[in-house]
């Protein structure tokens, strides 16, 4: 399918982007407000067109472990869920990070704690950007602010995931997942051929030919010295991401007296507030975070040094504004405004 | 194979000895860490021999979750994935669905398959996933030091049932084979033992059948 203008929901965009980006498999479990992802996939029947596998698992614990198994054969495998389901997936995610398996996980956040609410929220920020499960690991975390970005970030996720052999998280929320917007689709990227898989994932467990040693996918290391070496290697990988893969957007920041820092659907509200302020002659700019890990600390600090005030806007009780990654800003601006989401 | 052993073998063959049994090439040279008397070594060998005899070494993916056999990947010379405790059937489900021509097997303990992973076990079987699950039931949680497993027999002592398993406290041992046999998605389920040579031969035939079923 060529580039085309369409109207669709954020969740549907995720599903269609998975098909269009050559994803090999999707495993999921229903939960509001993201159930349309699997529903769209099931209705589209990509196994008849691109050959993509889609399966409804018995739980999120099963679906993330299906991602583990499938992705460890060197294929593009994804899942999606919302906050309570993502909590259940944390063990699987730390295994994926520990075994360095590329994959895509989408979280369409809702309010918590506990069963919480099905309204949008951004209160999984810490869980998403500080590992989430046990151990020292990071997910590359993208925060879409539109239906278009829901779609585009799926394509970007595969590049990053395989480049770094690391899970990628698209951290969305109920507002972006449920809202309908216009969207430009992209040309289909065919699923990898057998040769491409073997070239792009030489570490994959796709059946040991006589010409190589057996491939092993594991996060186990009984020798603590070797585990330490491995952890340094992981940290070096995350440092490289911080160096090379930070993404953000600056709107009206050049002449701004004040800037708003926000991501996802909060940044949409912030954008409107910025426009209203500008109409009144108040010079407000918007620093929109696109990657939450790696966080654009350096870039934000440069802007912060030249403004009178900063407003952090998010649908959580201050998780992003409390983030260590924002610490350099405190030097200039010690105050932040907080309000929990899901209401 | 160890060079000294290989050299000695060649000498013996020259002396007129005949080779009637040899280790399968599907097992690596790594020294197994299993306790003396444990059936894992035998069971590993049977699976490896079946893979060898079927000529599928280049087209197998094994999955061993947490448990005594978590290091099975060091012993089988085939592509292998280590899985989280209990999740091997889910892991294997996706391996097989995304690689339908590949032979996929899991190798799980009783705590793994019948306690923490019961849901994954039952649903994989009930979906009729075309894969082989090898369930090694030693009646305890071996790796963590011999605690009660779902299969621990009534009256049997373990680290967490030091006075014997009591039905009023711990319920009954879970009969997984019987349970799975009632599911319409299960194609072949059998209980075997490796306690003596006759049983070992029968167990091997069952493993062979379970692997051959993946050809359908
Ligand atoms: C989530 C989780 N819980 C607990 C453990 C600890 N653990 C490791 S092995 C094991 C028991 C394994 O017993 P079984 O599956 O019967 O295999 P065996 O060791 O007897 O071969 C447990 C509880 C773990 N690794 N992960």
Write the pLDDT tens digit of every residue in B171-190.
Answer: 999 999 999 999 999 999 99
How distant is the Cα of A114 from the closest Cα of chain B, in angstroms?
22
B65 lines ligand 1 (CB under 6 A): no
A74 contacts: CB under 8 Å, gap ≥ 6: A197, A198, A200, A201, A202, A203, A204, A205, A206
What pLDDT score does A11 carry? 98
CA dihedral B146, B149, B151, B156 (to 10 degrees): 50
Q: What is the pLDDT of residue A343?
A: 44
> Hey, which of B85, B135, B151 would you mutate to test ligand 1's pocket, going by the most ligand atoms within 8 Å of its Cβ?
B85
Angle at Cα B205 formed by Cα B203 and Cα B211, nearest 5°? 105
**R_g over Cα of chain A:** 20
Task: Note the CATH number of domain A248-324.
Answer: 3.40.50.920
pLDDT above 60 (res A253): yes
The two beta strands, A140-142 and A291-293, are antiparallel
pLDDT band at residue A335 under the 50/70/90 scheme:
low
d(CA A157, CA A316): 25
Report the candidate in B161, B179, B138 with the shortest Cα–Cα distance to residue B38: B138
Q: At what angle do helices A147-164 and A224-244 cross, to 10 degrees?
A: 140
In total, the C-beta contacts within 8 angstroms joining chain A to chain B are 125
User: What does each C-alpha distance from B92 to A192, B66, B97 come to in angstroms?
Assistant: 21, 14, 8
Tell me if residue B40 falls in helix, strand or coil. helix
Q: How far is CA A37 from CA A13, A80, B73, in A?
A: 8, 7, 35
Kindly write down the DSSP assignment for every residue of A282-304, as one continuous string: --EEEEEESEEES--HHHHHHHH
Q: Do B98 and A207 touch (CB under 8 A)?
A: no
Contact state of B97 with A59 under an 8 Å Cβ cutoff:
no
Angle between helical axes of A10-20 and A36-44 (0-180°, round to 10): 40
Q: Domains of chain B: which residue ranges? A: 2-145+186-215
Indicate the CATH number of B2-145+186-215 among 3.40.50, 2.40.50, 2.60.120, 3.40.1000. Answer: 3.40.50
Dihedral sign (CA A163, A164, A167, A173): negative
Judged by DSSP in three states, A145 sits in: coil
- Give the Å distance between the CA of A309 and the centre of ligand 1: 53
Interface test mutation site (partner A, options B94, B96, B133, max chain A beta carbons within 10 A): B94
Q: Report residue A304 CA to chain centroid gap.
A: 25
The 8-class DSSP code of residue A27 comes to E
Closest ligand 1 atom to residue B141 Cα is 13
Residue from B195, B151, B192 nearest B50 by CA? B192
Max Cα separation, chain B? 65
Query: Pairing relation of β-strands A167-173 and A25-28?
Result: unpaired
Fold matches, A5-194 and A248-324: yes
The verdict on B52 touching A (C-beta cutoff 8 Å) is no
User: How many C-beta neighbours within 10 Å does residue A176 have?
Assistant: 29
Two structure tokens written together for A85: 């389901």
Question: B44: CA distance to ligand 1 center in Å?
Answer: 19
Phi and psi at A201, nearest 5°, equal -135, 65
Q: Determine the Cα–Cα distance for residues B48 and A137; give it in Å rounded to an integer.
A: 35
Confidence of residue A184 (pLDDT cuts 50, 70, 90): very high
Residue A80 β-bridge partners: A106
CA distance B24 to chain A (A): 15
Q: Tokens 């072949």 — which residue?
A: B188
Question: Considering only CA atoms, which residue is closest to atom 26 of ligand 1?
Answer: B85
Q: Give the CATH class of A5-194.
A: alpha beta
Average pLDDT, stretch A7-26? 98
- Mean pLDDT, rounded, for A314-328: 88
Write the burial class of residue B127 (CB in 10 Å: 0-12 exposed, 13-18 middle, 19+ buried): middle
How far does the centroid of ligand 1 lie from the alpha carbon of residue B138, in Å?
A: 12
Identify which of B78, B91, B97 has the shortest CB distance to residue A55.
Answer: B97
Whether A211 shows a pLDDT value over 50: the answer reads yes
What average pLDDT does range A195-219 have in this prediction? Answer: 96
Residue B215, min C-alpha distance to chain A (Å):
16
Beta bridge partners of B135: B108
Indicate the angle between helix axes A10-20 and A147-164, nearest 10 degrees.
Answer: 40
Kindly give the distance from the C-alpha atom of residue A39 to the centroid of ligand 1, in angstroms, as a whole number. Answer: 36
> How far apart (Å, rounded) are the C-alpha atoms in residues A36 and A31?
9
B76 → chain A, closest CA residue: A214
User: Exposed, middle or buried, A292 (CB in 10 Å: 0-12/13-18/19+)?
Assistant: buried
pLDDT of residue A329: 75
Which DSSP symbol is given to B153?
A: P
Residue B114 DSSP class: I
Total number of residues shown for chain B:
216
Task: Compute the distance between CA of residue A161 and CA of residue A126 in angstroms, rounded to an integer.
Answer: 21
What string of pLDDT tens digits covers the 216 residues of chain B?
A: 568 888 998 999 999 999 998 889 999 999 999 999 899 999 999 999 999 999 999 999 999 999 999 999 999 999 999 999 999 999 999 999 999 999 999 999 999 999 999 999 999 999 999 999 999 999 999 999 999 999 999 999 999 999 999 999 999 999 999 999 999 999 999 999 999 999 999 999 999 999 999 997
Task: Provide the pLDDT confidence category of residue A325 given band limits of 50, 70 and 90.
Answer: confident
Q: Quick check: helix, strand or coil at residue B62?
A: strand
User: Comparing C-alpha atoms, which of A174, A93, A100, A179 is closest to residue A130?
Assistant: A93
């Amino acid at each position: 399918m060529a580039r085309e203008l369409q109207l669709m929901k954020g969740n549907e965009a995720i599903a269609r982007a998975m098909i269009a980006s050559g994803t090999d498999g999707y495993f999921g479990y229903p939960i509001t407000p993201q159930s349309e992802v699997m529903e769209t996939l099931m209705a589209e029947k990509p196994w008849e067109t691109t050959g993509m596998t889609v399966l409804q698992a018995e739980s999120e614990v099963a679906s993330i472990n299906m991602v583990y198994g499938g992705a460890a054969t060197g294929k593009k495998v994804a899942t999606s869920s919302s906050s309570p389901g993502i909590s259940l997936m944390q063990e699987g995610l730390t295994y994926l990070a520990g075994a360095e398996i590329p994959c895509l996980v989408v979280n369409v956040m809702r309010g918590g704690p506990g069963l919480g609410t099905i309204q949008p929220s951004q209160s999984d920020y810490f869980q998403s950007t500080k590992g989430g499960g046990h151990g020292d690991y990071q997910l590359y975390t993208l925060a879409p602010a539109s239906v278009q970005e829901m779609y585009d970030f799926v394509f970007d996720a595969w590049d990053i995931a395989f480049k770094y052999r690391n899970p990628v998280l698209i951290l969305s929320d109920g507002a972006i997942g449920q809202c309908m917007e216009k969207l430009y689709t992209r040309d289909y990227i065919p699923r990898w051929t057998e040769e491409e898989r073997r070239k792009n994932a030489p570490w994959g467990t796709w059946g040991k030919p006589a010409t190589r040693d057996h491939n092993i996918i594991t996060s186990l290391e009984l020798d603590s010295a070797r585990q330490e070496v491995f952890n340094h290697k992981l940290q070096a990988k995350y440092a490289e991401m911080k160096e090379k893969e930070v993404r953000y957007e600056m709107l009206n920041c050049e002449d701004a007296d004040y800037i708003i820092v926000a991501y996802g659907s909060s940044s949409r509200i912030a954008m409107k507030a910025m426009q209203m302020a500008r109409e009144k002659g108040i010079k407000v700019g918007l620093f929109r975070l696109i990657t939450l890990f790696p966080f654009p600390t350096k870039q934000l600090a440069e802007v912060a040094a030249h403004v009178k005030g900063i407003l952090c806007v998010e649908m959580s009780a201050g998780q992003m504004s409390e983030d260590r990654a924002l610490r350099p800003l405190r030097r200039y601006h010690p105050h932040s405004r907080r309000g929990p989401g899901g209401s | 194979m160890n060079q000294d052993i290989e050299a000695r073998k060649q000498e013996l063959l020259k002396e007129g000895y005949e080779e009637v049994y040899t280790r399968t090439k599907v097992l690596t040279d790594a020294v197994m860490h299993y306790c003396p008397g444990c059936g894992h070594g035998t069971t590993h060998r049977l699976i490896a021999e079946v893979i060898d005899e079927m000529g599928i070494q280049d087209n197998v993916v094994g999955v061993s979750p947490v448990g005594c056999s978590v290091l099975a990947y060091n012993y089988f010379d085939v592509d292998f994935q280590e899985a989280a405790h209990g999740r091997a059937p889910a892991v294997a489900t996706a391996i097989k669905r995304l690689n339908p021509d590949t032979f996929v097997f899991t190798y799980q303990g009783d705590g793994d398959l019948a306690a923490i992973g019961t849901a994954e076990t039952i649903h994989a079987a009930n979906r009729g996933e075309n894969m082989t699950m090898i369930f090694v039931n030693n009646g305890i949680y071996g790796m963590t030091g011999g605690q009660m497993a779902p299969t621990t027999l009534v009256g049997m002592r373990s680290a967490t049932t030091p006075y014997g398993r009591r039905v009023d406290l711990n319920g009954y041992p879970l009969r997984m084979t019987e349970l799975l046999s009632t599911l319409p998605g299960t194609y072949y389920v059998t209980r075997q033992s490796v306690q003596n040579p006759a049983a070992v031969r029968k167990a091997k035939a069952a493993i062979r059948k379970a692997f051959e079923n993946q050809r359908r």
